[in-house]
Amino acid sequence: MRRLWQMTMIKLARSQRVKAWAQSSRAGTALATRYVAGSNVVEGVACATQLLRNKQIRASLFYLGEYVDTPELVAQNVAAKIAVATALGDAGLDVHVSVDPTQIGHQLNPAIARQNAFRIAEAIALASRSHAGSHMLMLDMEDQGVTDATLALHNDIRAAGLPVAVTLQAYLKRSANDMNSLISSGATVRLVKGAFAAGADVAYTTRREVKSNSRNLIDLMFSKDAKATGFKPIIATHDDELQHYASQRAKEQGWVKGVEYEFEMLLGVHSELAELQASNGERVRLYTPFGSDWWPHAMRRIGENPANGMLLARSLVSG
């Protein structure tokens, strides 16, 4: 059932007809206002500034526009990523930018995506050279067909001495091996549940299995061996039980609260939990999308957690 749900949401995310309707409707506008930081770089950075100033919550900016397959749209996405990196640096904020490989040319040619990822990472390094912070090109992980390519891209960028991190998904059975490899190299890894569908041969297909594997991966991330390599854990979840579990493991293994690891959540989803964690001294970051092409992002969130679907549905109705 979970796999069918995710496959349906992914299909909707990629439907140009449905996207055009949703993004032009009044209800869609109301929905985007809640879950998107604005339509352009200026509005996205303004949201990041307010989050830090008012709530002590950091941001990872994400320019919306996924599954693009034309050179023009790829160029537009890359330009926006570089522009937001520059603007974050000028504002004195963390130059923390999230990128999907399919945004920057992977569907055209993996070599194009690689070249563009290096350009963005170099822009982040340049924009952040004048101030301290957590500056990073965060590579999002998409469907399991691009996992190897994304990990290879991360490793190449890191080998070049550029600021980069990568996302692993708890629903994939391979993630423990990938995590151990990244831990041994002292990487920065964001752990998410995973918003894509895959068969039982490569993925955990029930909520219970995915949550159990999340705990196992958290154990690896907060191990003493991980701490010794300089590894940095980022736990991206709205599950308060998993957040508590991670906090306890961090405390037991001697990780410094608010410094050596962080929690990440989505803008507009369970904001009270993010604010509570920040008030308790945890480092919290919100995945903060901006731009006008918000429909695929919304569908991925629904696919990841049906409970988010209820929130989105209520927003559509109220709109």
| CA neighbor of 205 nearest in space, from 239, 167, 171 | 171
Domain membership of residue 231 (yes or no) is yes
Q: Which domain holds residue 244?
A: 37-293
pLDDT digits (tens, 9 = 90+) for 213-239: 999 999 999 999 999 999 999 999 999
197 vs 45, residue with greater confidence = 45
Task: State in Å, rounded, how far the first CA of the chain is from the last one.
Answer: 29
Would you state the pLDDT for residue 25? 67
- The reported pTM is 0.90
Domain membership of residue 60 (yes or no) is yes
Would you state the pLDDT for residue 30? 63
pLDDT of residue 174 exceeding 60, the answer is: yes
Domain membership of residue 289 (yes or no) is yes
Domain membership of residue 15 (yes or no) is no
For residue 136, what is the domain's CATH number? 3.20.20.220
Domain membership of residue 180 (yes or no) is yes
Computed over every residue of the chain, the mean pLDDT equals 90
Domain membership of residue 24 (yes or no) is no
pLDDT of residue 33 exceeding 80, the answer is: no
Contact 247, 233 (CB under 8 A): no
244 by Cβ neighbours in 10 Å (0-12 / 13-18 / 19+) ranks as exposed
pLDDT digits (tens, 9 = 90+) for 109-157: 999 999 999 999 999 999 999 999 999 999 999 988 899 999 999 999 9
Beta-carbon contacts of residue 133 (< 8 Å; ≥ 6 apart): 93, 94, 95
Contact 270, 238 (CB under 8 A): yes
Domain membership of residue 182 (yes or no) is yes
Domain membership of residue 272 (yes or no) is yes
**Count of domains for the chain:** 1
- What mean pLDDT comes out for the span 250-255? 98
pLDDT of residue 303 exceeding 70, the answer is: no
Contact 251, 257 (CB under 8 A): yes
What percent of the chain has pLDDT above 90? 73
Q: How far is the C-alpha of 165 from the C-alpha of 104, rounded, in Å?
A: 16
